[in-house]
C-alpha cells in the first residue's frame, strides 16, 4: 500500500467493481482513451478478477478515484509474462497525478505476480497519459496507424512498454 496524506493505493477487490465501472464508463463516454463505446456493468468488471492479473485502485479520503488493471496480452504460452494495462482516473480528480500513483502500484504488483513486461496502446492526442508513462520509464515503441475506428473515425495508437527488470 502506498500512502501520501489522504491518497492511498491498494490491490482492488471485487467490492471495488462498482467504483471501477463508474470510472471506466467516464473514460468510455469521454472518447479520449479507449475504442470501447459500450458502458461496462459491475458484472463486466467483476470478470476482470482472474486471480492472476493485478488490478489496483487509488483512494482519496477513502473513495476510489483511479484504477489501473492488467489483462492477458496474447493467449500463447510464450507471452505469459507480458500483461496489457489500462489506467483511468475519475473526471473530478484528473490532473492530480492519481494515474501515476495507480501505475506505480500496478508496476509493483505486476512484478510480484511475475510479469516481465507491461504494455499498452495510447491515443496520440492523450498527451497527459503519454507524459505520465514517460515519467514512469515506459518507452514509446512506435505507432499503429489507423489501428481502429471510434465512431467512424480512424485513430492511431502509440505503443508503450516497460520491462520489469526484477523479473528478467
The pLDDT assigned to 2 comes to: 54
pTM of the full predicted structure? 0.94
Cell matching residue 99: 494515474
- CB-based burial of residue 150 (10 Å sphere; 0-12 exposed, 13-18 middle, 19+ buried)? middle
The pLDDT assigned to 165 comes to: 87
The pLDDT assigned to 49 comes to: 98
Tell me, what DSSP letter sits at residue 124?
T
Domains delineated in the chain: 2-120 (3.40.630.30)
The pLDDT assigned to 5 comes to: 63
The pLDDT assigned to 8 comes to: 97
Strands 63-72 and 82-89: antiparallel
Cell matching residue 36: 470501447
Strands 117-122 and 82-89: parallel
Q: What residues in the chain have per-residue pLDDT under 50?
A: 3
**Which residues pair with residue 99 across a beta bridge?**
none
The pLDDT assigned to 168 comes to: 82
The pLDDT assigned to 167 comes to: 84
Long-range contacts of 20-25 (CB under 8 A, 24+ apart): 20/45, 20/48, 20/55, 20/57, 20/64, 20/67, 20/69, 21/45, 22/90, 23/64, 23/65, 23/66, 23/67, 23/88, 23/89, 23/90, 24/67, 24/88
The pLDDT assigned to 13 comes to: 98
Q: What SS3 state is found at 60?
A: strand
**pLDDT, tens only, 29-50:** 999 999 999 999 999 999 999 9
Amino acid at each position: 500500500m502506498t500512502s501520501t496524506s489522504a491518497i492511498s493505493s491498494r490491490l482492488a477487490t471485487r467490492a471495488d467493481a462498482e467504483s471501477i465501472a463508474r470510472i471506466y464508463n467516464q473514460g468510455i463516454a469521454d472518447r479520449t482513451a479507449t475504442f470501447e463505446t459500450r458502458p461496462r456493468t459491475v458484472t463486466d468488471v467483476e470478470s476482470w478478477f482472474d486471480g492472476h492479473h493485478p488490478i489496483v485502485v487509488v483512494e482519496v479520503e477513502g473513495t476510489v478515484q483511479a484504477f489501473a488493471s492488467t489483462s492477458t496480452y496474447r493467449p500463447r504460452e510464450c507471452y505469459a509474462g507480458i500483461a496489457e494495462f489500462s489506467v483511468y482516473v475519475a473526471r473530478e480528480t484528473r490532473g492530480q497525478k492519481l494515474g501515476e500513483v495507480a501505475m506505480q502500484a500496478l508496476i509493483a504488483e505486476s512484478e510480484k505476480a511475475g510479469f516481465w513486461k507491461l504494455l499498452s496502446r495510447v491515443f496520440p492526442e492523450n498527451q497527459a497519459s503519454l507524459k505520465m508513462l514517460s515519467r514512469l520509464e515506459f518507452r514509446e515503441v512506435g505507432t499503429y496507424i489507423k489501428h481502429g475506428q471510434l465512431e467512424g473515425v480512424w485513430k492511431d495508437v502509440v505503443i508503450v512498454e516497460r520491462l520489469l527488470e526484477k523479473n528478467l
